[in-house]
Amino acid sequence: MSINQNRSVAAETAQGATSQAQHFCDGALKDLRHHDLKFGTKLYQHALRIYLSEAEPLLERIISGIETGNHEQVRRAAHSLKSNSLLVGAALVAETAGIIERGAAEKKCLASSLGRDLASLLGMANRAILSKLQDALDLRPSPRPPTHGSS
């Protein structure tokens, strides 16, 4: 894929990201949420918190690697961001990170605009994930009322 093709795909991805539905394919999150509700665990919240804590540092490593031409740094960080994004259903972030990862693996010159496009998508994804996390905190199952036994 040429630089212009990379740029074009990332630009189309960013421009097409107008709704949360386009951003997310959250089947895995629904499975985690179902598991949490069934077993009283907090895997859903944990997955979202990990994503929020790791996404920005990975983005910074990608941008820094693009700027310095460090293909291996870009490839590793983009791979991690892609994988993490797939786990939480941030589909467009994952797709763009995958484009960057492939370009870096092939040691192609990556345009800095790809980093900016990824930053824009990540910002939108993070806002949606924060909303999902807040919803999860607000929708925690209520404690069960005490049972009244006859003693």
Does the pLDDT at position 22 exceed 70?
no
pLDDT band at 5 (very low <50, low <70, confident <90, very high): low
- With a cut of 60, say whether residue 2 has pLDDT above it: no
What is the C-alpha separation between 103 and 17, in angstroms, rounded? 22
**13 inside domain:** no
Residue 144: inside a domain: no
Higher pLDDT, 145 or 95: 95
Structural domain boundaries, residue 94 = 21-138
SS3 150: coil
CATH number at residue 106: 1.20.120.160
- Taking the CA atoms of residue 142, residue 143, residue 148 and residue 151 in that order, the dihedral angle to the nearest 10 degrees is 170
Q: Is residue 132 part of a domain?
A: yes
pLDDT digits (tens, 9 = 90+) for 97-111: 999 999 999 998 888
DSSP reduced 3-state for 109:
coil
The whole-angstrom separation of Cα 112 and Cα 110 is 6
Does the residue 14 lie in any domain? Answer: no
Range in 72-76, 117-121, 136-140 with the lowest mean pLDDT = 136-140
Smallest CA-to-CA distance from 116 within 62, 55, 45 is with 62
28 within domain boundaries = yes
What's the pTM value of the predicted model, to 2 decimals? Answer: 0.75
CB atoms within 10 A of CB 78: 30
| Within a domain: 84 | yes
Query: Structurally, how many domains does the chain consist of?
Result: 1
Residue 113 lies in a domain: yes
| Mean local confidence (pLDDT), 67-71 | 95
Rounded Cα distance, 106 and 86, in Å: 22
- Name the pLDDT band for 140 (thresholds 50, 70, 90): low
User: Residue 25 pLDDT > 70, yes or no?
Assistant: yes
The answer as to whether 117 is a domain residue is: yes
151 pLDDT exceeds 50?
A: no
